[in-house]
Structure 1
């Protein structure tokens, strides 16, 4: 089960947490990152999510 720290609109941690799948309160945010990997030929690595992964 994933637990997320909750941030405000200014990316300040609020001290609250939520679980993946919970409904966000008004003004609640969590951090997300995306990573792109390129090789010397400019090709990008694409990984497909497992079909049995929830969410």
Structure 2
């Protein structure tokens, strides 16, 4: 059976997003030396890494963001200032800086 055609820009972006590669870790947080696609690590519950950043304004208020309605996980809900999966070989600091853009 042929794969369904992607009929929208959002679908194309999601398909590319699902193919993003992550380093795989064991239960103790040690790298296994393997990488796997986003869609696989999420479907199978494989350990991988992410970084979260809390940004506060000068008044000490936490700045949060609303997740897009099209997100697979927790769509249209509030989230921390920055939440990023780490790319293969990327450090927590590098991921945080990338997320802060």
Distance 2:68 2:20 in 1: 16
- Whether 1:7 and 2:62 are equivalent positions in the alignment is no
For 2:59, which of 37, 41, 48 is the aligned residue?
Answer: 41
Question: Structure 1 regions of 5+ residues with no counterpart?
Answer: none
Residues matched between the structures, number: 52
Looking at both structures, which has the greater relative contact order when contacts are Cα pairs under 8 Å and sequence separation is at least 6?
1
Distance 1:52 1:9 in 2: 30
Question: Structure 2 regions of 5+ residues with no counterpart?
Answer: 1-18, 74-101
TM-score (structure 2 length as normaliser): 0.43
Q: Which runs of 4+ in 1 moved over 3 A?
A: none
Greater strand fraction, Structure 1 or Structure 2? 2
For 1:54, which of 51, 56, 72 is the aligned residue?
Answer: 72
Q: For the aligned residues, what is the CA RMSD?
A: 1.8
**What is the SS of the residue equivalent to 1:21?**
helix
TM-score (structure 1 length as normaliser): 0.68
